C-alpha cells in the first residue's frame, strides 16, 4: 500500500484530492496538513511515499516546506497549483518537487475534479521513480558539475565528419531541471540549433522558456508558428500543442499544431522527432531524457532510419526511467549517458571535440 500526505489549506481541496487518490488501487491517504509547518511534521512522522502540496498557505508556504523537507528527509512531492502561479511552479521544481499539476481554476470549485486523470497518472509515475535519488538525499541537479562544465567549455570545432546541425530533446517528469542542467553548460552560443518537447500543459511553457533563457548562452523561447530553426536558438514546444517542422523557402521553420487523437503525451516527442528526421536526415541528434511513458520510442526509430544519432539518459540520473528505457529497448540508441555528461555528448556529436582528450 502506497501512503500519501495531502497538504492544502482548503478543506474542500483536501477532501477532493483525497477522494481522487483513494480511487486508485493500493493508495491510502494517511495524513493531512493545512499549512507548511504541519506539513513538515506530518511528513517527518508518517514518512509517506508521496505528498501533494499547495504552494500558497498560511504560516509557512510551500517553498519553505520544500527546502526543509528536501534537506532533512527527502520525499517525492507533487505540486498542485493554479495556472496563474507558473513562475512559482518552476521555483518549486528547482527546489526539488518532482512534478506539478495545474488546477483548472484558482477558486475553490468542483472543477478541481478535472485533474483526476492527470493526478492519478503522475502519482503512478512517482511510485515508479528512481527512489535512490531520494534515499541518498539528492534531487535532480539543476547545474552541470564543475568537471562537466569545464569539458563543454574546452571544445573546439571538429575536423570534417558527419556532424549534427540540430539537437532535439524530449522529456517529461523530471525534465525541467534536467533541461536546465544541460543548457546551463553552454557558456557560448554553439553552432547548432536545439528544439525541445517537454510534456507540459498550456500556459506554462513561456515562463519555462524565460527561466531557461536566463541560465544559458543560447536564446531560449517558446516556439511560435513559423519561427526559424537557427544556430544558438532553442525552441520550446508550447504546452498542450505539438511542434513539427517543414521547409519554407529553403529555411526550416516550426509549425505549432493541434495534437492528434493518437497523441497520449503532449507536446509529442514522437511527432517532433519524426518531422525533424524528414527535414534533417543524418544531421540530427535526438535526446531522450527522464520521463514517464514511451513517448519518443517511435521517433528514435525514424531518426536512426534517416541516419541521425540518438542519446538516452541513463537510469542512474533519471527521476523516472520510463522514456529512456523505452528508447533503449528499440535498439536504436547510440549512447546512454548520465545527465552530467549529456551536454558534452551533445557537443561532441555536433562537430565539437575537446581541446585535450
pLDDT tops 80 at residue 130:
no
Per the CB < 8 A criterion, the answer to whether 317 and 345 are in contact is: no
Hey, which CATH number is domain 146-354, 3.20.20.70, 1.20.950.20, 3.90.1150.10, 3.40.50.180? 3.40.50.180
Q: How far apart are the first and last CA of the chain?
A: 50
Proportion of the chain in helix, strand, coil states, percent, rounded to 5: 40, 25, 40
Nearest 5°: the CA angle 70, 290, 154 is 90
pLDDT tops 90 at residue 164:
no
The pLDDT value given to residue 141: 36
The catalytic position among 199, 268, 270, 275 is: 199
Q: Are strands 50-53 and 77-82 parallel, antiparallel or unpaired?
A: parallel
Displacement of CA 275 from its chain's centroid (Å): 21
Highest mean pLDDT among 56-70, 113-127, 149-163, 236-250: 236-250
Sort 167 into a burial class: Cβ within 10 Å, 0-12 / 13-18 / 19+.
Answer: buried
Report the C-alpha gap between 309 and 281 in whole angstroms: 10
Percent of the chain whose pLDDT exceeds 90: 73
Q: Are strands 352-354 and 155-157 parallel, antiparallel or unpaired?
A: antiparallel
- C-alpha cell of residue 142: 539543476
Report the C-alpha gap between 183 and 188 in whole angstroms: 11
pLDDT tops 70 at residue 319:
yes
Residue 210 annotated in active site: no
Q: Is 125 helix (H, G, I), strand (E, B) or coil?
A: helix
Strand partners for 38:
none
Per the CB < 8 A criterion, the answer to whether 121 and 142 are in contact is: no
- Enumerate residues 6+ apart whose C-beta is below 8 A from 19: none
Report the C-alpha gap between 274 and 145 in whole angstroms: 32
Strand partners for 254:
245
- Class of domain 2-135 as given by CATH: alpha beta
The pLDDT value given to residue 108: 66
Report the C-alpha gap between 307 and 302 in whole angstroms: 9
The pLDDT value given to residue 136: 44
pLDDT tops 60 at residue 87:
yes
pLDDT tops 60 at residue 50:
yes
179 or 128: which leads in pLDDT: 179
Q: Which of 24-38, 111-125, 134-148 shows the lowest mean pLDDT across its residues?
A: 134-148
Please give the mean pLDDT across all residues of the chain: 88
The pLDDT value given to residue 187: 86
pLDDT tops 80 at residue 109:
no
The stretch 223-248 carries a mean pLDDT of 97
pLDDT tops 70 at residue 83:
no
pLDDT tops 70 at residue 146:
no
The pLDDT value given to residue 40: 97
pLDDT band at 140, cuts 50/70/90?
very low
Residue 314 annotated in active site: no
The catalytic position among 8, 268, 295, 297 is: 295
Q: Which residue intervals of the chain bear CATH 3.40.50.2300?
A: 2-135
Nearest 5°: the CA angle 78, 74, 4 is 45
210-224 pLDDT, tens digit per residue, is 999 998 999 999 999
Q: Which residue has the cell 523516472?
A: 320
Quickly list H helices, 231-288.
269-280
Residue 117 annotated in active site: no
pLDDT band at 42, cuts 50/70/90?
very high
The pLDDT value given to residue 158: 55
Per the CB < 8 A criterion, the answer to whether 148 and 341 are in contact is: yes
Strand partners for 313:
337
The catalytic position among 171, 172, 197, 317 is: 172
Strand partners for 290:
none
Q: Which residue intervals of the chain bear CATH 3.40.50.180?
A: 146-354
Q: Which residue has the cell 511527432?
A: 271
Q: Which residue has the cell 495531502?
A: 6
Report the C-alpha gap between 49 and 43 in whole angstroms: 9
Phi, psi (degrees; rounded to nearest 5) at 320: -130, 125
Amino acid at each position: 500500500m502506497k501512503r500519501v500526505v495531502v497538504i492544502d489549506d482548503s478543506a474542500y481541496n483536501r477532501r477532493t484530492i483525497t477522494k481522487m487518490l483513494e480511487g486508485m488501487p493500493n493508495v491510502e491517504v494517511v495524513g493531512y496538513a493545512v499549512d507548511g509547518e504541519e506539513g513538515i511534521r506530518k511528513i517527518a512522522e508518517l514518512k509517506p511515499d508521496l505528498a501533494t502540496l499547495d504552494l500558497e498557505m498560511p504560516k509557512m508556504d510551500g517553498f519553505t516546506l520544500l527546502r526543509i523537507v528536501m534537506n532533512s528527509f527527502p520525499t517525492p512531492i507533487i505540486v498542485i497549483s493554479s495556472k496563474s502561479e507558473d513562475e512559482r511552479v518552476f521555483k518549486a521544481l528547482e527546489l526539488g518537487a518532482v512534478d506539478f499539476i495545474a488546477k483548472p481554476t484558482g477558486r475553490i470549485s468542483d472543477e478541481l475534479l478535472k485533474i483526476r486523470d492527470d493526478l492519478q497518472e503522475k502519482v503512478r509515475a512517482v511510485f515508479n521513480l528512481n527512489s535512490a535519488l531520494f534515499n541518498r538525499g539528492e534531487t535532480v541537479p539543476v547545474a552541470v558539475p564543475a568537471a562537466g562544465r569545464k569539458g563543454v567549455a574546452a571544445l573546439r570545432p571538429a575536423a570534417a565528419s558527419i556532424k549534427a546541425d540540430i539537437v532535439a530533446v524530449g522529456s517529461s517528469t523530471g525534465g525541467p531541471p534536467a533541461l536546465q542542467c544541460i543548457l546551463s553548460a553552454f557558456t557560448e552560443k554553439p553552432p547548432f540549433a536545439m528544439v525541445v518537447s517537454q510534456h507540459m500543459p498550456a500556459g506554462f511553457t513561456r515562463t519555462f522558456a524565460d527561466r531557461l533563457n536566463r541560465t544559458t548562452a543560447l536564446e531560449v523561447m517558446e516556439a511560435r508558428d513559423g519561427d526559424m530553426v537557427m544556430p544558438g536558438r532553442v525552441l520550446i514546444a508550447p504546452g498542450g500543442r505539438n511542434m513539427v517542422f517543414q521547409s519554407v523557402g529553403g529555411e526550416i521553420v516550426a509549425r505549432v499544431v493541434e495534437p492528434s487523437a493518437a497523441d497520449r503525451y503532449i507536446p509529442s516527442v514522437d511527432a517532433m522527432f519524426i518531422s525533424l528526421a524528414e527535414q534533417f536526415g543524418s544531421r540530427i541528434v535526438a535526446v531522450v531524457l527522464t520521463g514517464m511513458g514511451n513517448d519518443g520510442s517511435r521517433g528514435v526509430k525514424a531518426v536512426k532510419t534517416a541516419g541521425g544519432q540518438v542519446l538516452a539518459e541513463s537510469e542512474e540520473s533519471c527521476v523516472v526511467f520510463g522514456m529512456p528505457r523505452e528508447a533503449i529497448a528499440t535498439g536504436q540508441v547510440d549512447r546512454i549517458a548520465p545527465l552530467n555528461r549529456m551536454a558534452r555528448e551533445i557537443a561532441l556529436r555536433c562537430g565539437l571535440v575537446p581541446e585535450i582528450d
